[in-house]
Structure 1
């Protein structure tokens, strides 16, 4: 039995191709709708605009920190990884990333790897979920 070789971290992978802005935006829209629905349990999101933002930051902290994907990212087949080593970014960096994303402006300024300021400040990158291989079913 052989151990599968882990993919190269995005920072050192010359062939790294980030997902499209459309997939990222689609994931964000799905997550935002979920945040609006959840915030209805404790506030009126129309009147209390802070409620869905707080839920979004908490969602990012929990899901990105533990699973590298929010529900929207799962549906659009993207994930958030550490730029340096390709692993999960952890709870603290995920919360910081969510707070920076809530500011909106950092997300609009991207580099060649489609990393917004919120990604660069937290050492993260959005990457596509690899397609399953035939070996994964064994």
Structure 2
């Protein structure tokens, strides 16, 4: 059975409450560990320190662009959606968000909705995932 009322976009929802920073950080740690594991198939993070970072950017681009969740986000039950309409952000914006996240500093500059600079520049927001 489908819901006859579509979800309210986060930008227009006065009751919007962002997930905790702990869940966001937990998702990032899970995704980072997966990237470290995969990079071992290509020589390892010691020989190629840039490889896990590149894998993280690609992972975020593909998974957020196509599914609105990375594997870490799936485990922590959060997702990344468009701020104004609540839909997927698409591949290009997801890749840009991953690149900005890899720079670290944009993620530390947050607003009252816990949207980092990387979220605001790409029009994204982290929300709770439906069960």
TM-score calculated relative to the size of structure 2: 0.96
Match of 2:125 in 1: 125
Question: Structure 1: which 4+ aligned runs deviate by more than 6 Å?
Answer: none
In structure 1, stretches of 5+ residues that fail to align are 132-138
Bigger-Rg structure (1/2): 1
Q: How many residues align?
A: 131
Q: Quote the Cα distance in structure 2 between the aligned partners of 1:2 and 1:19.
A: 25
Match of 2:103 in 1: 103
Q: Quote the Cα distance in structure 2 between the aligned partners of 1:82 and 1:92.
A: 13
TM-score calculated relative to the size of structure 1: 0.91
Deviation track 1:104-127 (CA, whole Å, cap 9, x = no partner) reads 000011100000000000000000
In structure 2, stretches of 5+ residues that fail to align are none
**Larger helix proportion of the pair:** 2
Q: Is 1:37 matched up with 2:37?
A: yes
Matches within 5 A, 1:58-137: 58-131=58-131
Aligned CA RMSD, in angstroms, stands at: 1.3
